[in-house]
Chain A
């Protein structure tokens, strides 16, 4: 049995979504900018999709800019706002996704000042960018409180909601958000499509120049079929999925914490994304754990240095104060609405033996060597 516990990385596309996308490959394949019937059909789908996505976060249609995904939306938000202000100060955290951190690092080379959430807002601050739901440890930030602070200081507020979208409450008015990054493939939609919500009246500089598509903010022919898939993904998301995923998550956490020398990374209960569980196992390394799981057909991920190209442990795990050993021994299991209870039981059954086995061949572990099977 092959089981998938890496839904934080990407998800299985819902077959209903593929069905909804299909006509836009084979029948209504026109360019939405064309004025003939093919173009009009595509345009109609585009605008309907924009409306659905806008409604889902309590925004207006004209505030949604379709992009190629989360990375592009985050780049556009940060660089577009920075350059619209020409100069200024930006606040973010140390637990953002790489596409936010790398954009910030680059903006520093362009003369902008970046603070990684140590001191308060200054007179020069133009933007605060804070991840809604953390992709590694599942922490959900209190956007309402942060939004209040930004509003009080008249500072723009951006959030990357790629992991949290449809998994927890997201309301641009309630949270006083000016910019929100969204994407489709984390919610059972297709890859290569995302959106950026930009509050009406927000000054932003386009980052991709061309024919003036997407309200002159993001040029390039829209990925109509992908956008229709994105729309369907939003339409198909339900509150009961959150309840279901929470149940699976809590079972994983409860059972896996029974293994000796393991701890949960990130918060518990409703401060945590409903689909995320992240553990640190002492005395063993995460890539070996995911490697052993893979041999049993279970796909998972780790924040260990050994699995990164840079050989550096996860910046998120280090930022929350884990030791290098704890970060090396991390394992992330992320469920989706397609994950079955049987699959959860399977990982709960297999994991203790894998951990025991790896500890038995670790110089930091016990002395008795346990075979794999």
Chain B
């Protein structure tokens, strides 16, 4: 059902964890729907210098969270805000089962929400 890349990221999600004193946090989803993604950002000079996630959800949700972090790390905020769910699917090896595509959308939304949170604070 899942590609090797998805399983690899689920098995070893390098960006799983939390950033204490994060500059911005974005959370999307709820327990009822079965997925919650929380993204922590460390920002310096409008650039994402560190990023971590915590996810409650399935294999695809965990892998998509990790793929999103991998794409966003080191990027200027303006560029990171443009990361799409398609980019996340691409990072996951180009395929997600149809019913799991929403996990990549959730990844995109979590990042956008974190960036929004940072803009609000500034």
Contact = CB atoms under 8 A, between A and B. Distances in A.
A287 interface: yes
A291 B61 CA distance: 12
B122 interface: no
Contact of A305 (B12, B34, B59): B34
A325 interface: yes
B31 A284 contact: no
Contacts of B38: 363
Contact of A306 (B12, B18, B34): B34
A283 B56 contact: yes
Interface string B26-59: 0100011111111000000000000001111111
Task: Give the interface residue-count category, chain B.
Answer: 20 to 34
B94 interface: no
Given A291-B10, A304-B58, A285 B34 contact: yes
A350 interface: no
Interface stretch (A66-74, A143-151, A218-226, A364-372): A364-372
Contacts, number: 73
A369 B36 CA distance: 17
Interface string A314-342: 00000000001100100000000000000
Contact of A325 (B18, B31, B37, B99): B31
B93 interface: no
26 contacts: A285-B57, A288-B57, A288-B58, A291-B7, A291-B58, A291-B59, A304-B58, A306-B60, A306-B61, A307-B58, A311-B99, A313-B34, A324-B32, A328-B31, A328-B34, A360-B16, A361-B13, A361-B54, A361-B62, A362-B55, A362-B56, A363-B54, A363-B56, A365-B56, A367-B18, A369-B17
Interface of B: 7, 10-13, 16-18, 27, 31-38, 53-62, 99
